[in-house]
Amino acid sequence: SVSASGMTANAYRVDKRAAERARWEEASKETIKKTTKPCPRCNVPIEKNGGCMHMKCPQPQCKLEWCWNCGCEWNRACMGDHWFDV
């Protein structure tokens, strides 16, 4: 009947929207995984800022300056070798 097919179409549309949202959430989770790393000292997730390897923890009680590449405190070798990742 007409009403039954109408309901089916509506249900399908809702499913499709939910599936799209789930896919989008998955994709943004993947992006976060790729662009954030935990601070080596306090483990707060920190987002990478462009191509610079020099990271600074935003936590007021930490403020560690650290290397995205090495995952440790920022040092002279980091400054010379990979300050910028091209």
Residues engaged in binding Zn ion (CB under 5 A)? 39, 41-42, 57, 59, 62, 64, 67, 69-70, 78
Least gap, CB of 50 to Zn ion (angstroms): 16
Structure-block tokens of residue 9: 């179409």
Under 8 Å between Cβ of 55 and 84:
no
The residue (of 6 and 45) whose beta carbon lies closer to Zn ion is 45
Catalytic position from the list 52, 57, 67, 72: 52
The Cα 34–Cα 44 span in angstroms is 15
The residue (of 48 and 69) whose beta carbon lies closer to Zn ion is 69
Residue 78's φ and ψ, nearest 5 degrees, are: -60, -45
The Cα 17–Cα 52 span in angstroms is 37
Let me know if 62 is a catalytic residue: no
The Cα 31–Cα 16 span in angstroms is 23
The residue (of 5 and 76) whose beta carbon lies closer to Zn ion is 76
Least gap, CB of 85 to Zn ion (angstroms): 10
Q: Which residues are catalytic?
A: 52
